[in-house]
Chain A
């Protein structure tokens, strides 16, 4: 009656057989709803982070006056932020799916690589911004 690993598919909501991405043989059981909700909130938080990065990148490119003497300087800072935003959107979905699968099987959640990617990118972009400020000519007037 029970599933393999101390969890069992219980009620109607736990009928995993028809799920395309999760065949019942490999699936395990529907995890505790609170864990599913937490996983979903994490995904949503990453996507808000992605949107914030896109907004920041777009704002740098579109609202900032150009660095004096460095017309491409804004894009050096802004484009990586926008690209990181789209990457976070995709990777966070993959991680949500992997974590949901791990929950179903009673395995520990995956270690996310997104925090270190976010940290490194923001640090590099910040350094680039500082360098651009230093090497761009003084504003006339």
Chain B
């Protein structure tokens, strides 16, 4: 970690800075990218299947809000739950996609 004035390993654990610096910013950005990924998929699904599309867009908003929340609270205590929400959301979205892809007919053959 070249940006640290002193390597953290030189100090006892209790003296480590509580401020994780840019790591938190990178993590917030990762949350935002995840929310955008949901939004993109929701937009694509929305075109042919409005109800699941809107549901995925709502998940995107939920994950965006969770990311904001995770950014403001330093304690990782509630992060486990937030990450579980993401896992459940992605699993639900993939099951929805599975149902759509198996039940709904795709485009007709090109002529």
Q: Contact mask B86-105 → A, CB, 8 Å, 1/0?
A: 11001101110110111010
Bin chain B's interface residue count. Answer: 35 or more
List the B residue with the shortest CB-CB distance to A38.
B23
What are the residues of chain B within 8 A of A38 when measuring CB–CB?
A: 23
A62 touches B90 (CB 8 A): no
What are the residues of chain B within 8 A of A7 when measuring CB–CB?
A: 13
Q: Contact mask A35-54 → B, CB, 8 Å, 1/0?
A: 01110110111011011101
List the B residue with the shortest CB-CB distance to A84.
B94
Prevailing SS type, chain A contact patch: helix
Bin chain A's interface residue count. Answer: 35 or more
A13 within 8 A of B: yes
B26 touches A66 (CB 8 A): no
A62 touches B37 (CB 8 A): no
Instruction: List chain B positions with a Cβ less than 8 A from chain A.
Output: 1, 8, 13-14, 16, 18, 20-21, 23-24, 26-27, 30-31, 33-34, 37-38, 40-41, 44-45, 48, 74-77, 79-80, 83-84, 86-87, 90-91, 93-95, 97-98, 100-102, 104, 106-111
Across chains A and B, which 4 residue pairs bring their CB atoms closest together, nearest first? A61-B101, A89-B90, A86-B94, A33-B20
